[in-house]
Structure 1
Amino acid sequence: MAAHSSPPGARVNLTVLCAVVLLILAVSLFGGEDSSSGTSRPPGARHAPQAAPASPGEQAAPVERPADRRERSARARPVRLLIPKIQVSAPFVPLSVGRSGQLEAPPADDVNLVGWHAEGAAPGETGTSIIAGHVDTATSPAVFAKLSELEKGDVFHVARSDGSRVSFVVDALETFEKDDFPDKRVYADATRPEVRLITCAGDYDRKVMDYTENLVVFAHRT
């Protein structure tokens, strides 16, 4: 499965999903489950990013208004992730940060499913979007089983709810120890549309029922 640290504001260990598997929520954009269920932590979803409290003399962030919520719900949402090089064509499910501070994982009973941090930037919007997926389950490979085969310059796409399709080019692939996941680097906001694809990597630690590393694909909109 996949597991990652947290998106900006909440450390996601998307800590965007694993079990000889994300994803995620990822993201930190995705807690552990019993290995008998065939799943482990969400990709990269460690602790979801939480907004830091306002310092003395600094105003707290304004409360979101109903109009703001309507605008957010009306935006173009991702509906399918397409990565031709590794034969991925997977629908999206929205993920949120749970009470544990971790990004929730995509349902483990569907190996061809990816999740996105719905409280952050949607793929194609300005900012950093977190997409998490499982690498495998206890019984079979999952959607991001071949994610490590991507290379700099490879292109993937996201089909959106408004009928549009946005494309992204891979900038780099990096693997990080989950205990030393660079949250700020992975989840930091961006001035252009960027995406992080996150899943589990490394060895599977049966004691904690989780993989030891996260694989992160850095990409930007073309």
Structure 2
Amino acid sequence: MKSYGEFCALARALDLVGDRWTMLIVRELLIGPSRYSDLHRSLPGIATNLLATRLRDLEETGIVESSDAPAPVSARVYSLTEWGRGLRAPLVELARWGVPLMASGAGEDHTRGRWLGFAIMALFPNHDPAQGSSLLPTVTVRIDTEADSVLMVSDTAGVRVSVASESTTAEIVVTGSSEEVFRTLSGHLGNGEHARVAGTTDAVRRFFALTGKALTSGAPATGQ
């Protein structure tokens, strides 16, 4: 493992997670534990030997751990350690800094429905326990896009996200491309088509009240 050789907290952190692909592996594991094959499929462009090397390095440094899942999975499953989960806050803040760059659309970039799970973490404000209750509307939303499903829950504990399936029940079902769903969740950041939103009149009202609370709602694109 390469080192900057500097007595600096940032430099030492980058010694561990600054290599190409490492932070995106962490992103995947923040969304949820994954098998090697799932990680490889969710990281288009990474060579299989490089993924194996990055996972080994992350395990050796105590950021990632793995275990054998029982049948019917019967595969090695990777997850973040408690220390590794501490990367959530800085990576979410970095994603928030980059969110306005999404306004130009996907273009020729790869898209994956599960990546919206991390986008949701960045789009909505952190829950502040000192407030006693969340200022966000209460609603459950299942997002179906590009063969993936994600469940978003907004309640008094803030906004949470997890991997789901098309059989997961929710008050709202949002369907469309990743770009359309992101545009809808972000409070209409950028121009173009929006996702389809299905649910009762009251649930739809609460859903759009939630997207109106997105940190990007009404914000112009920057950094172009």
Q: TM-score range by the shorter chain?
A: under 0.3
Q: TM-score, normalised by structure 1?
A: 0.23
Between Structure 1 and Structure 2, the one with more strand by share is 1
For normalisation by structure 2, the TM-score amounts to 0.23
| Structure 1 or 2: more helix by fraction | 2
Structure exhibiting the larger radius of gyration computed from Cα positions:
2
